[in-house]
Structure 1
Amino acid sequence: MAWAVVVSVLVMTILSLLRVNVIIAILAAGLTAGLMNGETLVSSLELLVGGMGEQASVALSYILLGAFAVAISYSGITSLLIGYLLRVLKDKRTMMVLVIAFVASLSQNVIPVHIAFIPILIPPLLKLFDEMKLDRRAVAAALTFGLKAPYVMLPVGFGYIFHETIQSSMSSSGIDLGIGSIAQSLIIPGSGMIVGLFIAIFVTYRKKRDLPDVATEGQGFEVKKVETAKFNLQHIWTIVAIVVTLVIQAVWQNLILAALAGIILMFIFRVVPYHKGDKVVNEGIGMMGFIAFVMLVAAGYANVLTETESVSALVEVSSEYLGDNQAFIAFLLLLVGLIVTMGIGSSFATIPILAALFVPICLSAGFSPMATAALIGTAGALGDAGSPASDSTLGPTSGLNADGKHNHIWDTCVPTFLHFNIPLFIFGWAASLFL
């Protein structure tokens, strides 16, 4: 039971690296975890399917956001943005990637739309990327950075939800700590991600990269040629629909309602003709449906690990070797967090599981409350970048692979794992010892 998490995550990782479809890889990992915990093949499958419902709302919201993104593309407003970028950033590859990282960062805190902006912004830019010979792995790193670093460091938007989850999870286990103190404890780990981003942009993926003209199967989104466009009434209505969507999402924290409102307004304002409704939804499913289904299967895998108590068993076995060396304890706890989050694919879902196990160990080892928060926050964030099942990697791939020239594992997951998990681990480990 104790090693079920490790073995199942290895199964998922190895199959993914061998280019086996990520859904099949996660299913194999879930069944492996179940069988190693004494479940039958049938009962393991039942646990996996039973847990898929927990992410049903997220899956539906992603599909609706995909349809909304397609509707926005029909308005031609993205051509205005792309035209501006062409004039200002043409042949400025590094600046282009930095701008994308900045825009992505806004999606977590200032305008909390998460990955919804990616299918709107990225597909129209792909032709420009190819003309500039920009390495798409650098763009993947920039997008993943923007989807993770802000919520790790800043308690605003999705960041507030992340920090509040840490606070409530620690409180229920016996440590009371304010949101401000939790944010301070995660500044050092988050800084590691900034270092990783700079290494990816200025060192690893700085050189030009040619991609083949012949694409493999894409995500179902038609990459249209960017044409010169002038601002018109349709663009005004599109902006109104976007603003309404953002307001609904910010006030009611409901992506389904927000995306549905945006789609309805696009039809009411006649930005998208009514007879193209089926095409818009179909393209939205083609763009985001794969992500939605991966999230469902990943939730099922998480349910297998939770119901079989595999994570707690792993921590209990690990604690036998901890001793009283804080450096070694912190290292081992972060390693457990990396393994668990790689499998589950969600920082937010991992935090309550890890906090219940980490707090007693940290208290007995003499870690301060802020050091404990740094360990829990870092352990939860570790693995999210680089996990085949994470929306932090699936989102960038959905945009970058719209023309079928970007591989999810080798072009998104491997680069983001190396450039963010390694510095996040090192800086988080240091924070736990200094705080």
Structure 2
Amino acid sequence: MNAVVLAVLLMLVLAFARVHVVMALIIGAIVGGLLAGLGLAATMESFTAGIANGASIALSYAVLGAFAVAIAHSGLPQAFAGWVTRQAGPDAGVRRTRWLKWGLLGVVLAAAVMSQNVVPIHIAFIPLLIPPLLVAFNRFGIDRRAVACILTFGLVTTYMYLPYGFGNVFLNEILLGNISQAGLDTTGINILQAMGIPALGMVAGLLVAVFVTYRRPRAYADLPVAGEEDTPAVGPVSGYRIAVALVAVVLALVIQIVADSLLLGALVGFAVFLATGVVRWGESGSVFNRGIQMMAMIGFIMIAAQGFAQVMQDSGQVEPLVTATAQVFGDNKAMAAFAMLLVGLLVTMGIGSSFSTLPIITTIYVPLCLTLGFSPLATVALIGTAGALGDAGSPASDSTLGPTAGLAADGQHDHVRDTVIPTFLHYNIPLLLAGWVAALVL
């Protein structure tokens, strides 16, 4: 069996068996490298090279975590969460409570969508918005698996359909850019038309998750957020503190866009809180440390995932996997399209990044699609879907790690059982089917 297939399957089995994701990634990478004939020394050298690529991402997320804690220290998220909780008090009627519940979930969805374009901070909003809202979720009896599906939907569907912010990077720069380099003219292709059917698959998965699978109330205890006891007490929530928080967020956004650096934007935002006294100099160490601790798990997993991805690429087994899969089905367009989508799912599940998967598969998929007679629009839909498949449902994806970081702040949400498995079932299956239909009808 192909070394990439075995490595990814081993990593997933270990993760589902509750072996820590970092350990699962390391073991999977070693086994995959050895099976590919790299040897132990070359495998570890490749893994180490990949780690270096992920270090800057992990550092950026760590500083973003500190910035998020500083925002929480200002009282802004608590003020919003407190308002929602008060509105849903014992005197609130059934109708009002229902409107508040769906309004709150709508806010979460809107925040996830805007994190990809309007305020392109990706998952950095989750640890500052979600933990203060856990009490409100508990009051409404909201199943956190539904919230995980909402967050992942906003993170993934937005960049795979709307060509703005991160979506511009994924769709125009990476997807169309790599397809053009592979020899297919993409002039005049409407990216919204190409990715419309796959996006509808994601919408279908969201509706099933929220209104069918996880619609019933689920009980959670009102437990303190991890690390809360080590955090300096939040001062009185005032207009001044909230105004400073808003200024810091806007300034961090501007710096991030101008300098194209999450790290610099987060540092500037944190400096605003220090300069204005919302976070005192004597408290800065505790606030910064808690932010790093909050995002450390994501950072370590992303570093390990980059190492795993590098080993898979250096193994030389991805191209034979794709080619052999396509050759099995010959001129059968329907079966070949389904096989290419499955390979995309497998690769992204292991790498944990749709953005990294596209360059790997595009150079191979474009000639195959041309040979099989797929239209340019169908080719874009097929490759775009193959790249996006697996982002939801991968233990190493920031689209699942982010929701877990917020929802597990009080220790009542498991990464694999409550985020990975629900998002895999509700998004990868309908996205696979929708992408397959798009490849055949466009």
Q: TM class, shorter-chain normalised?
A: over 0.9
The CA distance in 1 between the partners of 2:419 and 2:207, in whole Å, is: 16
Tell me which amino acid in the other structure corresponds to 1:113: I
User: Which residue, 161, 173, 198 being the options, matches 1:153?
Assistant: 161
What SS class does the counterpart of residue 72 from structure 2 fall into? helix
Q: Please report the TM-score for the alignment, with normalisation by the length of structure 1.
A: 0.95
Q: How does 1:260-339 map to 2 (within 5 A)?
A: 260-339=267-346
Identity of aligned residues (%): 48
Tell me which amino acid in the other structure corresponds to 1:343: G
Aligned to 1:176: 185
Whether the 8 Å contact between 1:29 and 1:301 is mirrored in structure 2 is yes
Whether the 8 Å contact between 2:84 and 2:136 is mirrored in structure 1 is no
The CA distance in 1 between the partners of 2:392 and 2:61, in whole Å, is: 19
Q: How does 1:346-357 map to 2 (within 5 A)?
A: 346-357=353-364
The CA distance in 1 between the partners of 2:26 and 2:7, in whole Å, is: 10
1:221 CA displacement = 5.6
Aligned to 1:205: 214
Whether the 8 Å contact between 2:73 and 2:234 is mirrored in structure 1 is no
Tell me which amino acid in the other structure corresponds to 2:393: G
Whether the 8 Å contact between 2:354 and 2:387 is mirrored in structure 1 is yes
Distance 1:173 1:203, change over 3 A: same
Aligned to 1:134: 142
What SS class does the counterpart of residue 405 from structure 1 fall into? coil
Whether the 8 Å contact between 2:382 and 2:436 is mirrored in structure 1 is yes
Whether the 8 Å contact between 2:51 and 2:306 is mirrored in structure 1 is yes
What SS class does the counterpart of residue 275 from structure 1 fall into? coil
Aligned to 2:104: 96
Alignment pair present for 1:381 and 2:406: no
Whether the 8 Å contact between 2:138 and 2:222 is mirrored in structure 1 is no
The CA distance in 1 between the partners of 2:235 and 2:262, in whole Å, is: 32
The CA distance in 1 between the partners of 2:394 and 2:129, in whole Å, is: 23
Q: Deviations over 1:260-319 (max 9, x none)?
A: 111111111111001112111211111101101111110110100111112112112212
What SS class does the counterpart of residue 385 from structure 1 fall into? coil
Aligned to 1:17: 16
1:213 CA displacement = 6.6
Aligned to 2:412: 405
User: Which stretch shifts more, 74-83 or 290-299?
Assistant: 74-83
The CA distance in 1 between the partners of 2:189 and 2:326, in whole Å, is: 30
Aligned to 1:189: 198
Distance 1:178 1:297, change over 3 A: farther
Whether the 8 Å contact between 1:106 and 1:112 is mirrored in structure 2 is yes
Q: Deviations over 1:47-90 (max 9, x none)?
A: 11111111222111100100000011111111221133335567
Whether the 8 Å contact between 1:192 and 1:426 is mirrored in structure 2 is yes
Aligned to 1:257: 264
Tell me which amino acid in the other structure corresponds to 1:82: A
The CA distance in 1 between the partners of 2:50 and 2:402, in whole Å, is: 22
Distance 1:221 1:383, change over 3 A: farther
Distance 1:179 1:395, change over 3 A: farther
Aligned to 2:92: none
Distance 1:178 1:197, change over 3 A: farther
User: Which residue, 373, 378, 389 being the options, matches 1:366?
Assistant: 373
Q: CA RMSD in A?
A: 2.1
User: Which stretch shifts more, 16-25 or 386-395?
Assistant: 16-25
User: Which stretch shifts more, 320-329 or 92-101?
Assistant: 92-101
The CA distance in 1 between the partners of 2:336 and 2:195, in whole Å, is: 18
Tell me which amino acid in the other structure corresponds to 1:323: G
The CA distance in 1 between the partners of 2:165 and 2:249, in whole Å, is: 18
Aligned pair count reads: 432
Tell me which amino acid in the other structure corresponds to 1:138: A
1:381 CA displacement = 0.5
Tell me which amino acid in the other structure corresponds to 1:192: G
User: Which stretch shifts more, 12-21 or 62-71?
Assistant: 12-21
Gaps of 5+ in 2: 90-96
Aligned to 2:133: 125
Whether the 8 Å contact between 1:371 and 1:433 is mirrored in structure 2 is yes
1:115 CA displacement = 0.5
Tell me which amino acid in the other structure corresponds to 2:214: Y
Whether the 8 Å contact between 2:352 and 2:396 is mirrored in structure 1 is yes
Distance 1:219 1:51, change over 3 A: farther
Aligned to 2:93: none
The CA distance in 1 between the partners of 2:204 and 2:278, in whole Å, is: 42
Alignment pair present for 1:34 and 2:9: no
Tell me which amino acid in the other structure corresponds to 2:427: F
User: Which stretch shifts more, 82-91 or 396-405?
Assistant: 82-91
Alignment pair present for 1:240 and 2:247: yes
1:249 CA displacement = 1.7
